[in-house]
């Protein structure tokens, strides 16, 4: 992490000249949603928030709330915090910064299985498939939409994306089900799929969806979210992301966040700069 030294220097200079009251960066995050965030700071969004706070010379303060329906309304938009570290580009209700990574849905399989990379793979018609469900919120995860469009419904098993918040890893059960053989393939959002796939024994394989003709996008660019109208903070965050780009990338790498190369072929919402 070569960029650490200059910021350390900057911090020292700030100590010498800054007023006694340090600035506070208030971040809203889910206390139990690894790999994204956790109360003990072990999520990749926690790590990125620390880097940003350092860059801004601010003390990091968390406001914890489950990232369920109403999360933004009850936190960021209720003025309890100023920043949400990961939101998809195109999300209404927030002002997004420039995106800082793009990930995609992935197929997760056991290591000895023939890899699946496309919804057109005929194997999907004869295996047990796990998908995340949103509930009846007028929506579902893109793999659910795509499987339904293709009429692949027979072997599909649903796992609630919310998970059980009383358990330590609410997003893990669908990946554990691949390891245990309950299902043959899980089609899950990249960061959580890769994180939990790497923690299975034996390790599971995560293959990004390669289709370019899906009914709904399979790849989403992620940005940070501030309140609508908070253009000043957004500009600061944009500058901070640019300044600490390599550290942020290193954190995403350390968490195995799949980042398929931006390609016009992949159906994507948002674009990484």
List residues near another protein by CB under 8 A. Answer: 30, 33, 36-37, 65-71, 73-74, 77-78, 86-93, 128, 132-142, 144-145, 147-149, 153-158, 160-167, 170-171, 189, 191-192, 215-217, 220, 222, 269
User: Minimum CB separation from another protein for residue 260, in Å?
Assistant: 14
Q: Is the CB of 218 or the CB of 241 nearer to another protein?
A: 218
For residue 96, CA distances in Å to 54, 207, 222 come to 21, 28, 9
d(CA 70, CA 142): 21
Minimum Å gap between C-beta 112 and another protein is 23
Strands 37-38 and 185-189: unpaired
Question: Closest distance between another protein and the C-beta of residue 130, in Å?
Answer: 11
Cβ of residue 245: shortest distance to another protein, in angstroms? 22
Rg (CA), the chain: 19
Between 44 and 233, whose beta carbon lies closer to another protein?
Answer: 44
Q: Return the sign of the alpha-carbon dihedral for residues 17, 21, 23, 25.
A: positive
Q: Minimum CB separation from another protein for residue 9, in Å?
A: 34
Q: Which is nearer to another protein, 67 or 109 (CB)?
A: 67
8 A C-beta contact, residue 211 and residue 267: yes
Q: Considering beta carbons, is residue 36 or 100 the nearer one to another protein?
A: 36
Q: How many CA atoms lie within 13 A of 76 on its CB side?
A: 27
8 vs 68, which CB is nearer to another protein? 68
List own/partner pairs for 122-126 with CB under 8 A and 24 or more apart: 124/152, 124/185, 125/152, 125/154, 125/155, 126/155
């Amino acid at each position: 992490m070569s960029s650490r030294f200059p910021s350390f220097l900057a911090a020292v200079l700030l100590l010498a000249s800054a007023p006694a009251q340090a600035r506070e960066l208030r971040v809203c995050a889910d206390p139990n949603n690894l790999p994204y965030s956790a109360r003990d700071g072990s999520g990749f969004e926690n790590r990125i928030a620390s880097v940003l706070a350092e860059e801004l010379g601010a003390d990091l303060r968390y406001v914890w709330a489950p990232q369920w329906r109403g999360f933004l309304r009850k936190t960021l938009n209720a003025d309890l915090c100023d920043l949400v570290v990961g939101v998809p580009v195109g999300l209404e209700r927030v002002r997004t910064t420039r995106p800082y990574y793009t990930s995609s849905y992935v197929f997760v399989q056991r290591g000895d299985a023939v890899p699946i990379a496309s919804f057109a793979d005929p194997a999907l018609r004869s295996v047990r498939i796990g998908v995340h469900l949103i509930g009846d919120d007028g929506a579902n995860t893109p793999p659910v939409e795509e499987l339904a469009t293709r009429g692949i419904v027979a072997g599909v098993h649903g796992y609630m994306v919310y998970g059980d918040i009383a358990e330590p890893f609410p997003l893990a059960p669908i990946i554990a089900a691949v390891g245990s053989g309950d299902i043959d393939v899980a089609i899950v959002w990249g960061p959580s799929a890769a994180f939990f796939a790497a923690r299975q024994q034996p390790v599971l394989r995560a293959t990004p969806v390669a289709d370019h003709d899906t009914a709904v996008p399979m790849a989403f660019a992620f940005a940070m979210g501030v309140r609508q109208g908070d253009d000043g903070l957004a500009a600061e965050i944009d500058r901070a992301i640019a300044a600490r780009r390599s550290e942020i990338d290193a954190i995403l790498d350390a968490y195995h966040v799949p980042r398929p190369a931006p390609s016009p072929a992949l159906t994507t919402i948002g674009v990484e700069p």
